[in-house]
Amino acid sequence: MQAIRSLLVVLDPEHAHSLALARAKLIAGVTQAHLHLLMCDAHHDHSALLTLLKQQLHDDGFSASAEQAWEGSLEKTIIKVQQSEGCGLVIKQHRHESALKRFLLTPNDWKLLRHCPCAVLMVKSERPWSHGVILAAVDVGNADGEHRQLHAAIVEHGFDIARLAKGDLHVIAAHPSPMLSAPDPTFQRSETIEARYREQCLAFQAEFEIDHAHLHIAEGPADVLIPFTAQKLNAAVTVIGTVARTGVAGALIGNTAEVVLDTLESDVLVLKTDAIVAHLEELARG
């Protein structure tokens, strides 16, 4: 988080009060990152508002710029500007869509998570981050190189946010139910599965000084356990990630991230592996 030098703040033409801008100011106030405001609208001129917001940010000591653009769709506009401005984080207020609409059409926020070549922070509430709980969700059951890299990034970003907000970092890992038919006896009993997962968490526990009271390992599907744990802890931010192969699948985010985006009450930071970012950047340039 500290290494991000430029934030892309997506403003909503229909809502004057921007939760995304409030979060961006909080982050930039600590990291000194530049704020680039983006209004995605093809029909109305927002130049006066953008000039006012930019001036207010300058008066408050922030580095800021602003533009209005439209490239045929919301996610395409955001990605084009993110690439041209070199922004390392996109901040956008989440807009919940009905189950029927989600069934008929892929929500814009899901498209953005799937295709954006950088981290995305979806802002869901006005609740302050200060002294709150930051929840990092990891999938330690997958221990390949890409997943290990992603686990480290998730916990590191969670730790950065916790330090920024003077909050507490907690980590959640969901493990599968026992299977009597599993060839490995470890996966035939809940106790041995949990012990294996705890062992795989030791490295980042030691690095970030996460004690067992702040590590939550439970049996069940991740898309259920992550929102349950976030609600139980009253988390202010949940950090999650995605891993996919390059090629066609490289542009697809896992269903877990999409499902929890709509069920979590906290803000949601979604991270991707370097391989996915590189592939999506290539697609964006094409």
Domain ranges across the chain: 6-93, 133-285
d(CA 221, CA 241): 15
**Average pLDDT value for the chain:** 85
Q: What is the pLDDT of residue 87?
A: 95
Q: pTM to 2 decimals?
A: 0.88
Instruction: Put residue 239 in one of left, alpha, beta given phi > 0 → left and psi -120 to 50 → alpha.
Output: beta
| pLDDT band at 98; cut points 50, 70, 90 | low
pLDDT digits (tens, 9 = 90+) for 199-221: 888 888 888 889 999 999 888 88
> Poorest-confidence range of 80-89, 163-172, 173-182, 221-230?
173-182
Which CATH architecture is the domain 133-285 placed in? 3-Layer(aba) Sandwich (3.40)
Higher pLDDT, 262 or 91: 91
pLDDT band at 166 (very low <50, low <70, confident <90, very high): very high
pLDDT in tens, 100-143: 555 556 778 888 988 899 999 999 989 899 999 999 999 887 76
pLDDT over 90 percentage in the chain? 52
CATH fold of the domain at 6-93: Rossmann fold (3.40.50)
The rounded distance, in Å, linking the Cα atoms of 95 and 84 is 25
CA 202/CA 143 separation, integer angstroms: 13
Of 17, 261, 208, 239, nearest in space to 129 by CA: 239
pLDDT at 285 (0 to 100)? 74
Q: pLDDT tens, 175-197? A: 877 655 455 555 556 778 888 88
Q: Are 102 and 205 in contact (CB under 8 A)?
A: no
Tell whether the model's pLDDT for residue 8 goes beyond 90: yes
**pLDDT-based confidence at residue 248 (cuts at 50, 70, 90):** very low
d(CA 15, CA 93): 10
Let me know: does 93 contact 39? Beta carbons within 8 Å. Answer: no
Residue of 239 and 111 predicted with greater confidence: 239
Q: Same CATH topology for 6-93 and 133-285?
A: yes
Q: Higher-confidence residue: 245 or 42? A: 42
